[in-house]
Chain A
Amino acid sequence: MARITASVYTSHVPAIGVAMDLGKTQEPYYAPLFAGYGPARAWMAANTPDVVVLVFNDHANAFSLEMVPTFALGMSARYEPADEGWGARPVPPVVGHPALSAHLAHSVIREDFDLTLVNDMPVDHGCTVPLSIMFGQPDAWPCAVIPLVVNVVQYPVPSGRRCLELGKAVRRAVESYDEDLDVQVWGTGGMSHQLQGPRAGLINREWDNEFLDRMISDPEGQAAVEHVEYVREAGSEGIELVMWLVARGAMADLAGGGAPTEVHRLYHVPASNTAVGQLILEDAPR
């Protein structure tokens, strides 16, 4: 049977991808951040899963305003990196896992999560930057990826509670899949940042670190936090952090099992306009 092995949480700042694409990771601005990523990459090299369910938001690349799906699940065998306006990133295509996608769709929709199923979409920096952060610059990504795209751009966006519950449903779906697969769920975005208006540039180190604490020890409590607190305290784009709750919902402790083990935690300011966070939680042994 398939199993959830870990959850990974990471910012997906486009400038981090640009720094890698242009070979700037050892410049003084980025060197401390990439040094901080070292332990996460080493852990990932030793714990590469078969499939990643990668939770991110589209930033006006796959979806225009013609349609705004709240939760969209990728069903494809392949997803191309998007041209977001600067030209497409020079990274490999993302290879999907259509059979597990189909199983997730059946299982999760039957649990009353009304997913939009997407058969053809490009993937933007929300998906490709986390892959670059965790895997570096390989010729091909070392595992299959199932994109799970959450609307956090046009309000109303889904609540933290709804995101956490979706993660729980994803866990149940994975555990009912017959093939022997190691699956990780990645929650991406954040941390504090605001990209618009005279308040742009907001960073809230204290709030971000409390969020990291609560992701580990009190996800149910964090799931009750209202959107307006994210916006007020972590900036208008800090709302992306609700997506981390999808990954957290997939951990065993929220399904009656043991607590996860924290194997990595990072906080760094800034990358471009954004506070960068990273967390890896290994699922409790069964």
Chain B
Amino acid sequence: MALEKPYLDIPGTTVFDTDQAARGYHLNQFAMSLMRAGNRERFKADEDAYLDEWPMTGEQKQAVRDRDYNRMIELGGNIYFVAKVGATDGLNYVQIVSSMTENDAEAHAEMMIGGGRSPDGNRYLHEWEDKG
């Protein structure tokens, strides 16, 4: 019997469950390696060579090269792990997080100061599908 996953009904949201963790294991372990200053330097010096040290899929490596955080998360990344790629780029969490949304960092920060994204219209998948 398949596991029940009620959280699949929430739009614009990926819950990092054991299936995602299995898919993204090496992607996340690669990102975690960037906690060490020496590894950050090696990654910055030659991204492709550093990525090739990890048994990640080609899609995962491309998502990292593209700094496409939504794609990294779709392919099994978890935000706390993949944010270390952004940290290595010198980005803060607002810059990393906003890159996954319709807003740039400045507009995202303004939205947060204005009270953030409302839950209204953002709770269920059908609310986004109805918007087209």
Chain A residues in the interface with B (C-beta under 8 A): 14-15, 18, 29, 59-61, 64-66, 68, 82-87, 153-156, 192, 194-205, 207, 226-228, 231-233, 236-237, 269-270, 272-273, 275
Contacts and interface: CB of A to CB of B under 8 A. Distances in A.
Contacts of B40: 85
A203 B117 contact: yes
Contact of B14 (A154, A197, A226): A197
Given A155-B15, A197-B14, A233-B123, 6 more contacts: A14-B93, A154-B21, A199-B11, A200-B98, A200-B108, A231-B15
B116 A203 contact: yes
A110 B78 CA distance: 34
B132 interface: no
Contacts of A202: 116-119, 122
Contact of B119 (A14, A204, A227, A273): A204
Contacts of B15: 155, 231, 236
Contact of B92 (A15, A204, A228): A15
B116 A201 contact: yes
Interface of B: 6-7, 10-18, 21, 25, 28-29, 31-32, 34-37, 40, 69-70, 73, 78-81, 83-84, 87-88, 92-94, 97-98, 100-103, 108, 111-113, 115-119, 122-124
Contacts, number: 157
Given A60-B81, A61-B35, A85-B87, A269 B116 contact: yes
A197 B37 CA distance: 28
Contacts of B16: 153-155
B73 A85 contact: no
Given A60-B78, A65-B25, A85-B35, A154 B17 contact: yes
Interface of A is mostly: loop
A115 to B, nearest CB: 21
A84 B80 CA distance: 9
Contacts of A237: 79
A286 B101 CA distance: 52
B73 A198 contact: no
A227 B5 CA distance: 11
B64 to A, nearest CB: 14
Contact of A201 (B29, B87, B92, B112): B112
B100 A154 contact: no
Contacts of A228: 6-7, 10
26 contacts: A15-B92, A60-B31, A66-B29, A83-B37, A85-B34, A85-B84, A85-B87, A154-B16, A194-B13, A195-B79, A195-B97, A196-B14, A196-B73, A197-B73, A199-B13, A199-B122, A200-B97, A201-B97, A201-B108, A202-B118, A202-B122, A228-B6, A232-B7, A236-B14, A270-B113, A273-B112
